[in-house]
Chains A and B, each alone.
Chain A
Amino acid sequence: MPQRPNLDLALTAREILIFHGAYFGVPPAERERRALELLERFQLTDRADRLVLGFSGGMLQRLSIARALVHDPRVLFLDEPSAGLDPQTLLWDLIRSDNQRGTTILLTTHNMEEADALCSRVSIVDHGRMIALGTPAELKRSIPGGYVVRLHLAASPPPLLASFERLPGVTGVRTSGDGAVDLYADRGGALLPEIARLSTEAAVEIRDVKISEPSLENLFLHHTGRSLRD
């Protein structure tokens, strides 16, 4: 299933599934049956005999996945499936149920929450390079501390950073490219009074603080020094 729907606009939803089955050599009776079953599962039955031209983004997305399933593939490639407009949970349930039926699914996403929720194995790729591979739990465990406190400081003198590093529970301190300072720690908000005290003593103004809980997003941050939104 591609990121942008590329469905056959001259056909109805049901015809799209039936013809796609035919392209892949699914026998006539079988493809009729599968088309009806998929329309039902993907909640498109009431639209079955309409041209897809007027479908919403979410419906196109669901129909695209249904189309990919007509010939019962052993591996399903989903490229950014939640880029559509449906509530994520609906799509996630559909993807999970297919996975449970024995279809291997390779899912591409930039939504770490989605990867965490759906995937049994996650590979994080940055600029074409694989930077991490494992189950979501393994990956999250691999971040030192788990929590990340990102500080934007007016200045970052090395003695101040060293004093941060000596704080109880802090496992590492790194400066990232844009001048931010990342503290890896086993706590989040509880560190703030100490950070504030040390900064005041060093006469350094804190301009911004962001605390993130253990997540794949932090893993990405840890490996690349950039958050996904940068």
Chain B
Amino acid sequence: MNLKTFFAMLHRDAHVARRNFVTLLLQTLFQPMLLVFVFGKVMTSSGLIRPEYKGMLLPGIIAIAMLLSGVWSVAMPLVSEFQFTKEIEDRLLAPIEIEWVAVEKVVAGMLQAIAAGLIVIPTAWLVMGSGVGLSFTRPLEFLALALLVSCLAAAVGLVLGTSVGQTQIGLMFSLVIAPMIFFGCAYYPWSALRVFPVLQKVVLLNPIVYASEGFRSALVPRFPHLPKAAIYAGLILFDALFVSFGMRQFRRKAVG
């Protein structure tokens, strides 16, 4: 492991991200913000949805914004770098182990996911107006969750970016990521699924559930949420799963 090389690569990714800042922002935050506006503002102000829903929605939106930007920022460049441009070799040539190149990608993705989360919180709050009622009394819990969720996002991006070709990546987003978001308990708490007992069990296989419920437990603990032990266990398990699988795929693609 070569720290200098590692940080030079992070620096490179930050440099490119800064250059593409606006595009990145629109790509990953536009959709969540539309949702915030329609569900958090239009529906609540018109009385179709009770105003308390705002507080329920915001943690889910944070989870989704972080996931989308983390997945996107790792997967999209990887897909093209591994394709015919073979751009990835530019990084693989550097004096650092292949695994650390993958770790760097994950760390860069985590930073982008966290940045997205930090942008979404105040923006969504502003859009929804009064009555969101977030409590920031558990900063350490929030920090731990933010790290775990951003790691999940970047690791899913690593898996997608190393397993899916350029032609299927769009399809992956609409066929895999979109349903994961809708069944990720972002727009409703997990407990609301009790009327669909089978679905309620099945969605536990969806890592986004733990992200949404996790932020709910930290930011709006007055609402029902999964027990903390289950949240952390779920996030840590899925993090480990996707990181190890993504690293394996990365190695296979880089060497093959």
Contacts and interface: CB of A to CB of B under 8 A. Distances in A.
B89 A2 contact: yes
| Residue with the greatest number of chain A CB neighbours at <10 A, chosen from B15, B93, B95 | B93
A23 B16 contact: no
Interface residues of A, number: 17
A20 B86 CA distance: 16
Instruction: Among B8, B87, B96, find the residue whose CB has the most chain A CB atoms closer than 10 A.
Output: B8
B85 A9 contact: yes
B44 interface: no
Residue of B19, B88, B89, B90 with most partner-chain A CB within 10 A: B90
Dominant SS at the B interface? helix
A25 B16 contact: no
Contacts of B85: 6, 9
B112 to A, nearest CB: 14
Contacts, number: 53
B8 to A, nearest CB: 4
Contacts of A83: none
Contact of A23 (B8, B19, B80, B88): B8
A7 B8 CA distance: 16
Nearest to B19: A10
A86 to B, nearest CB: 21
B87 A19 contact: no
Contacts of A11: 12, 15-16
Overall SS of chain A's interface = loop
A20 B80 CA distance: 20
Given A10-B77, A11-B16, A15-B15, A25 B90 contact: no
B89 A22 contact: no
A71 to B, nearest CB: 9
B4 interface: yes
Which of A16, A20, A23 gathers the greatest number of chain B CB atoms within 10 Å? Answer: A23
Contact of A6 (B2, B9, B86, B94): B86
Contacts of A10: 16, 19, 77
B16 A22 contact: no
B89 A19 contact: no
Contacts of A23: 5, 8-9, 91, 93-96
Interface in A1-54: 2, 4, 6-11, 15-16, 19-20, 22-25
Interface in B1-55: 2, 4-5, 8-9, 11-12, 15-16, 19
Nearest to A27: B4
A24 B12 contact: no
Contacts of B4: 22, 25
Given A10-B77, A23-B5, A25-B5, A4 B96 contact: no
Contacts of B2: 25
Contact of B11 (A7, A22, A67): A22
A9 B90 CA distance: 10
Interface of B: 2, 4-5, 8-9, 11-12, 15-16, 19, 77, 80, 85-91, 93-96
